[in-house]
Structure 1
């Protein structure tokens, strides 16, 4: 019998993704690797991985669904990297999905300040999906970064006012409310696709907690976001102005479907574009609810092309680093893996691995 000669990279892939002699997309058992502080350890249970990880460890998750009974309440800084939130760009591994049932959700307490999350879809059944704090005594959570993540229900950046939290969300997708409870956040190139029937989709960032850049809010409005800075964004709410009950906010270089920008408040408006019919703003978006098949580039002839504060387009595809529709992390991710069923004449096991990485 010949020994198989595998490169360390292929060995890591087989360990991490649970690969056998053939690859069936999305069929592998999920794997979790903890490293960065200690030697790499492999887990299948996320709570066990979190318990074992020293502060400031990396927790790298394969594609697949990870059910987390009870959710989690982190009390130390950790850095989570998934395979991506969108299955189209992770077709050899599947998207990384964290799930919890009932009212269980994913929380960070004050001790978890400095944590980060990249390329993860957070899915919960009810109410809140992600929160900073579990109560008034542990909601001073600062320096939290989330990149290319997706949230099924509410994101709350505190439990009660004033939360004194700080966070950044970059290229994230929100399917429900985004509530500050007095915290401070930057939402950059984000998509919000839920309309609150009784209040704001983006709410309670006060007295000066909200910075919103190159983002899109479908149909909704802000609520009690005083002194906000809103730049290069798109609001498709018809009727009353979508900057609602948010006094002294500065709104510049944005597109609005409404004629008015502010309602029940006053603020500063600079170089904005109003009265744009929602169906004509984007290349392809028809129902006000974001799907990955939508194309949110500005439609040809849009007055928002090149009208951003930096000379780029208004919306998520503006800036020098536009939105990445695949939603994959910076680290290399597996696009395709082919492993032969048998060895060749030299006793080697042929394997082809195709990877890709976002440059920014």
Structure 2
């Protein structure tokens, strides 16, 4: 019942935002909702939030708090333009910095115009980013003296590099990664598309680190031979554009597909830059299978990429708002809302 009430609230809130065209943020706390407006509503909502509260962001651009040091959840409308035509995309401007009290932080459906990072040698655990887009870097700053653990990245797009220097037990799954991954020790990368094409030096690789599990991914790199740099990595059932790639020192490799041109992989895409206009579906979903028997890449595995990365809160597909009230002072609003199951 609580989840139904919360879902109804989200729909009403987003409809009211669409009708008023004002920048507002909703804070949900134990069945009570507070709406913030003004010049920095996200900062104001965060300041008022306590542990386990949820912040709902409509379409628009919001300024990030200087630090996030609370266990909260943040939901936006999504970052694909086609999927947010009725609401607008949700942007957070500026860097997002997590502090040690932000265990179990959760964010979904947000595009970040900045970097997302974990503060230096602070333990921030059980963090999940889902169906987000980070236009900067994703960094765990430190030296593993006080590591952050159990981080999950699902169905997202990361434009910059990822540095896991202070991270343990990381799962990056079903995401599109444009930059490179550094300092990864003992982490898991499943069903991703790695677009990195760093061609200046032959020893550069999309993944750098030791003892990682790298399975069911698609590597589009076509220059030089390194896909993984490091020791003891396991690489299974990955699809590789390179015909004879290197997976580092003493790797365990099996079931990989080599020398497959991008033109034979995807429905429609080329190059090493993420764009919304290209199609990352496989031409033949049964030709290249992962360890679990599903297709390699973002649409296979345990957490398949959701079309247009629509977040799990109720989604406004379309809206029609009359330009003026009728003779009785009523404003005609028609909104099509779709419930989300995941």
Same fold, TM-score > 0.5, yes or no: yes
- Structure 1 residue runs of 5 or longer lacking an equivalent are 1-6, 21-27, 195-200
Residue 192 of structure 1: how far off its partner (Å): 0.9
Residue 280 of structure 1: how far off its partner (Å): 2.4
1:225 corresponds to which of 190, 204, 209:
209
In 2, the alpha carbon distance for the partners of 1:174 and 1:350 equals 40
- What residue is the counterpart of 2:43 in the other structure? 47
In 2, the alpha carbon distance for the partners of 1:188 and 1:91 equals 27
In 1, the alpha carbon distance for the partners of 2:111 and 2:290 equals 30
Residue 275 of structure 1: how far off its partner (Å): 1.0
- What residue is the counterpart of 2:109 in the other structure? 119
**Does the alignment pair 1:257 with 2:253?**
no
In 1, the alpha carbon distance for the partners of 2:129 and 2:12 equals 30
In 1, the alpha carbon distance for the partners of 2:244 and 2:30 equals 53
Q: What pairs with 1:1-360 in structure 2 (closer than 5 Å)?
A: 12-15=13-16, 17=17, 19-20=19-20, 28-37=21-30, 39-44=32-37, 45-68=41-64, 71-100=65-94, 105-124=95-114, 129-133=115-119, 135-136=120-121, 139-162=122-145, 164-166=147-149, 167-184=151-168, 185-194=170-179, 201-206=180-185, 208=186, 210-220=187-197, 221-300=205-284, 303-304=287-288, 307-319=289-301, 321-340=303-322, 341-343=324-326, 349-360=331-342
In 2, the alpha carbon distance for the partners of 1:238 and 1:8 equals 49
In 1, the alpha carbon distance for the partners of 2:76 and 2:98 equals 18
Given that 1:29 and 1:64 are in contact with CA atoms closer than 8 Å, whether structure 2 keeps it comes out as no
Residue 302 of structure 1: how far off its partner (Å): 7.7
Structure 1 residues 9 and 358, CA, compared in 2 at 3 Å: closer, same or farther?
closer
Structure 1 residues 355 and 344, CA, compared in 2 at 3 Å: closer, same or farther?
farther
**For residues 10-67 of structure 1, what are the alpha-carbon distances to aligned partners after superposition, in whole Å with 9 as ceiling and x for unaligned?**
854454x1514xxxxxxx2222100133621111321111110111100010011113
Given that 1:149 and 1:173 are in contact with CA atoms closer than 8 Å, whether structure 2 keeps it comes out as yes
Given that 2:28 and 2:34 are in contact with CA atoms closer than 8 Å, whether structure 1 keeps it comes out as yes
Residue 163 of structure 1: how far off its partner (Å): 5.1
- What residue is the counterpart of 2:3 in the other structure? none
RMSD, aligned CA: 2.3
Given that 1:251 and 1:270 are in contact with CA atoms closer than 8 Å, whether structure 2 keeps it comes out as yes
TM-score normalised by length of structure 1: 0.82
Bigger mean CA deviation after superposition, 254-263 or 309-318: 254-263
Given that 2:320 and 2:334 are in contact with CA atoms closer than 8 Å, whether structure 1 keeps it comes out as yes
TM-score normalised by length of structure 2: 0.87
SS of aligned partner of 1:47:
helix
Residue 142 of structure 1: how far off its partner (Å): 0.4
Given that 1:30 and 1:61 are in contact with CA atoms closer than 8 Å, whether structure 2 keeps it comes out as no
Number of paired residues?
322
SS of aligned partner of 2:297:
coil
- Structure 2 residue runs of 5 or longer lacking an equivalent are 1-7, 198-204
SS of aligned partner of 1:72:
coil
Residue 358 of structure 1: how far off its partner (Å): 3.8
Structure 1 residues 313 and 123, CA, compared in 2 at 3 Å: closer, same or farther?
same
Given that 2:79 and 2:89 are in contact with CA atoms closer than 8 Å, whether structure 1 keeps it comes out as yes
Residue 298 of structure 1: how far off its partner (Å): 1.2
SS of aligned partner of 1:205:
strand
In 1, the alpha carbon distance for the partners of 2:9 and 2:118 equals 38
Residue 8 of structure 1: how far off its partner (Å): 7.8
**For residues 233-257 of structure 1, what are the alpha-carbon distances to aligned partners after superposition, in whole Å with 9 as ceiling and x for unaligned?**
0011224444432211111111011
